[in-house]
Structure 1
Amino acid sequence: MRAARFDAATGELAVRDVPVPQPGPGEVLVRVAACGICQSDLSQLDGHIRPRLPEITPGHEAAGVVAALGAGVRNRQLGDRVVIAAGKECGECPECLLGGGTDRCEDLQVLAFHYDGAWAEYVLTSAVSLVDVPESVPLEHAAVLADAVSTPYGALDTAQLRPAESVGVWGLGGIGTHLVQLARICGASPIIALDPLESARERAIGLGADFALDPGDPDVAARIAEITGGRGLRAAFDCVGRSTTFTQADAALGHRGRLVLVGISPDRLAVGPEIHFVRNRHTVIGHTGYRMRHLEDLVELTDRGRLDVSGSVSAVLPLDEVAEGIRRLREHEGDPIRILLRP
Structure 2
Amino acid sequence: MDRMRAVRLHLPTRTLSVQEVAKPVPGPGEVLVKVGAAGVCLSDVHLADGTLTPLYLEGESVTLGHEVAGTVETLGPGVGGWTAGQRVVLQAGERRGGRTHTRGVDYDGGWAEYAVASATTLVALPSTLPLEQAAIIPDAVSTPWAAVTGTGDVRPAQAVGVWGAGGLGAHAVQLLRAVGAYPVIAVDPHPAARDRALHFGADLALDSGDPLLREQVLGATGGAGLEAAFDFAGAPPVREQALSVLAPKGRLVLVGLSDQPLTVDRSTRFSYLQHRILGHYGSEEHHVAQLVRLAEGGRLDFSRSITDVLPLEEVATAVRRMETKEGAPVRLILRP
Coarse TM-score class (shorter-chain normalised): over 0.9
Q: Distance in 1 between matches of 2:240 and 2:290?
A: 32
Are positions 1:204 and 2:207 aligned together? no
Q: Distance in 1 between matches of 2:330 and 2:32?
A: 28
Q: Which amino acid in structure 2 is aligned with residue 164 of structure 1?
A: A
Are positions 1:16 and 2:19 aligned together? yes
Q: Distance in 1 between matches of 2:261 and 2:39?
A: 28
Q: Alignment partner for residue 75 of structure 1, among 81, 86, 96?
A: 81
What is the match of residue 187 of structure 1?
180
What is the match of residue 100 of structure 1?
none
Equivalent pair of 1:48/1:265 in contact (CA under 8 Å):
no
Q: Distance in 2 between matches of 1:21 and 1:281?
A: 53
Equivalent pair of 1:48/1:266 in contact (CA under 8 Å):
no
Q: Alignment partner for residue 152 of structure 1, among 128, 144, 148?
A: 144
Are positions 1:30 and 2:33 aligned together? yes
Q: Alignment partner for residue 216 of structure 2, among 223, 237, 245?
A: 223
Q: Deviations over 1:130-181 (max 9, x none)?
A: 1111101111110121221111001112111110111100011100000000
- RMSD of equivalent CA atoms: 1.1
Are positions 1:88 and 2:94 aligned together? yes
What is the match of residue 68 of structure 2?
62
What is the match of residue 285 of structure 2?
292
What is the match of residue 310 of structure 1?
303
Structure 1 residue 67: Cα displacement = 0.7
Are positions 1:125 and 2:131 aligned together? no
Q: Distance in 2 between matches of 1:46 and 1:117?
A: 18
Aligned residues: 329
Q: Deviations over 1:247-306 (max 9, x none)?
A: 111212111111111112332221223212211111111111111111111111111111
Q: Alignment partner for residue 249 of structure 1, among 239, 242, 250?
A: 242
Secondary structure of 1:108's counterpart equals strand
Are positions 1:43 and 2:43 aligned together? no
Q: Distance in 2 between matches of 1:27 and 1:138?
A: 24
Q: Alignment partner for residue 107 of structure 2, among 106, 110, 115?
A: 115
Q: Which amino acid in structure 2 is aligned with residue 75 of structure 1?
A: G
Structure 1 residue 56: Cα displacement = 0.6
Runs ≥4 residues deviating over 6 A: none
What is the match of residue 325 of structure 1?
318
Segment of structure 1 superposing worse, 9-18 or 51-60: 51-60
Q: Distance in 1 between matches of 2:198 and 2:293?
A: 24
Q: Which amino acid in structure 2 is aligned with residue 64 of structure 1?
A: G
Q: Distance in 2 between matches of 1:6 and 1:44?
A: 8
Q: Deviations over 1:92-111 (max 9, x none)?
A: 33xxxxxxxxxxxxx21111
Q: Distance in 2 between matches of 1:275 and 1:81?
A: 54
Q: Distance in 1 between matches of 2:304 and 2:277?
A: 31
Structure 1 residue 51: Cα displacement = 2.5
Q: Distance in 1 between matches of 2:254 and 2:243?
A: 11
Q: Distance in 2 between matches of 1:214 and 1:76?
A: 48
Structure 1 residue 319: Cα displacement = 0.4
Q: Alignment partner for residue 263 of structure 2, among 261, 270, 274?
A: 270
Q: Distance in 1 between matches of 2:80 and 2:255?
A: 36
Secondary structure of 2:136's counterpart equals helix
Secondary structure of 2:238's counterpart equals helix
Q: Which amino acid in structure 1 is aligned with residue 25 of structure 2?
A: Q
Segment of structure 1 superposing worse, 258-267 or 15-24: 258-267
Gaps of 5+ in 1: 94-106
